[in-house]
Amino acid sequence: MEMLSILRADGEYDPKLEPDLSDEDLVKMYRHLILVRKFNERGMALQRQGRIGFFIDSTGQEACQIGAAYALNSNDWVYPTYRDVGVCFLRGVPMKVIFDQLYANAQDYMKGRQLGVHWGYKEKNIVTIGSPIATQLVHAVGTAYAVKYKNHRVVTLTFFGDGATSQGEFHTALNFAGVFKLPIVFFCENNQYAISLPVRRQTASENIAMKAWSYGFEGTQVDGNDILAVYKAAKDTIDKARSGGGPTLIEGVTYRMGGHSTADDPSKYRNQSEVEMWKKRDPILRFRLYLMKKGLLSEQEDRKMQQEMENEVNETAKEAEKVAPPALSTMFSDVYEEMPWHLKEELDDLMKEGT
């Protein structure tokens, strides 16, 4: 299987494969790549300073998020992973809302009840993330089945890591999608590690994309650090799904530059020389060079954009940090439509204790 690639590491590209994107689209994609990188840097710093409890970094995987999500319509459904904050930004979720969730403050959409980076925003058709690996795949298939049943021209895009392909839900979801020819795109962000387990220890297959053929539909492998290739693959397969062509499995070959989470030390299971090799394939550096070669970005404009994104992230984080924690009484809400008597008594006792 030939891997789709348009951009080289030095910014050179194949003009025959360039997707049909305006100059404005290209610059917008770059701004979102920078925004995700700056958000990751700030999130890691906040956790290390003890100001938030948990964070999961996606540095190195930004092109998979932005490239794939850029091909969606606003009414399409997304089932992301905890690394895909770029999908939230791109679909219009305010950054303040995301930081509120990280701080679990009183303005948190989740009311402080979710683990950090486990967001979900129904207004943007982004379904809430869960920690168990691969469970979102069967949920995404359910949504795809529902929209097909209702004859809606809507596509479901679900993201997952290479580790998810070792779970039973991966088989269940792809098999069901193939049998019923559902309008869904499965996007595997193959970042080379399932926490500490390398992909070579997870499967004997030559690659992950080829697994799709076992379920009766197409699989395609793409350079996950090449945002143009990711967008082209996603756009083609999303359009195919929308027109009744059934599902596709995309494998984006990328790399997780940091640890699995703030609770992980990647130096225990991989060599620094490997990390340095992948740094040369940085998706942001590659796209920056491409934009400069096309005359769409200068060094001065890039520095300005980088500073603007950093300022926006830092100011938004400060604003969220000022918000108080949720009131203790909120732990009793949203459990029952009508609160039972014993919880009312407990709530009354809590309020008396608080006074």
| pLDDT value of position 355 | 55
Do 222 and 236 share a domain, yes or no? yes
Whole-number Cα distances in Å, 46 to 52, 118, 256: 6, 17, 20
CB 213 within 8 A of CB 247: no
Do 54 and 133 share a domain, yes or no? yes
- The pLDDT-based confidence of 333 (bands split at 50, 70, 90) is confident
Do 275 and 349 share a domain, yes or no? no
Domain-embedded: residue 2: no
Domain-embedded: residue 265: yes
Do 207 and 338 share a domain, yes or no? no
Domain-embedded: residue 122: yes
Do 334 and 265 share a domain, yes or no? no
Do 146 and 208 share a domain, yes or no? yes
Domain-embedded: residue 8: no
| pLDDT value of position 44 | 97
Task: Please pick, among 32, 256, 286, 288, the residue that the annotation labels catalytic.
Answer: 256
d(CA 227, CA 316): 27
Task: Please pick, among 31, 109, 171, 269, the residue that the annotation labels catalytic.
Answer: 269
- Residue range 334-351: average pLDDT? 92
Biggest alpha carbon distance in the chain? 71
Do 315 and 332 share a domain, yes or no? no
| pLDDT value of position 352 | 87
Do 52 and 186 share a domain, yes or no? yes
Domain-embedded: residue 126: yes
| pLDDT value of position 110 | 86
Q: Respond yes or no: is residue 82 known to be catalytic.
A: no
Do 47 and 69 share a domain, yes or no? yes
Q: Respond yes or no: is residue 256 known to be catalytic.
A: yes
Range of the domain at 340: 327-355
pLDDT (tens digit per residue) in 13-70? 999 999 999 999 999 999 999 999 999 999 999 999 999 999 999 999 999 999 999 9
Domain-embedded: residue 57: yes
Is 262 a residue whose pLDDT tops 80? yes
Domain-embedded: residue 298: yes
Percentage of the residues of the chain whose pLDDT score is greater than 70: 99
| CATH number of the domain enclosing 240 | 3.40.50.970
- Residue range 278-293: average pLDDT? 97
Do 349 and 200 share a domain, yes or no? no
pLDDT (tens digit per residue) in 131-155? 899 999 999 999 999 999 999 999 9
Domain-embedded: residue 267: yes
Do 184 and 262 share a domain, yes or no? yes
- Return the closest-CA partner of residue 129 out of 106, 94, 98, 107: 98
Do 118 and 245 share a domain, yes or no? yes
Q: Respond yes or no: is residue 260 known to be catalytic.
A: yes
Compute the mean pLDDT over every residue in the chain, rounded to the nearest whole number. 96
Please count the structural domains in the chain: 2
Task: Please pick, among 260, 281, 286, 288, the residue that the annotation labels catalytic.
Answer: 260
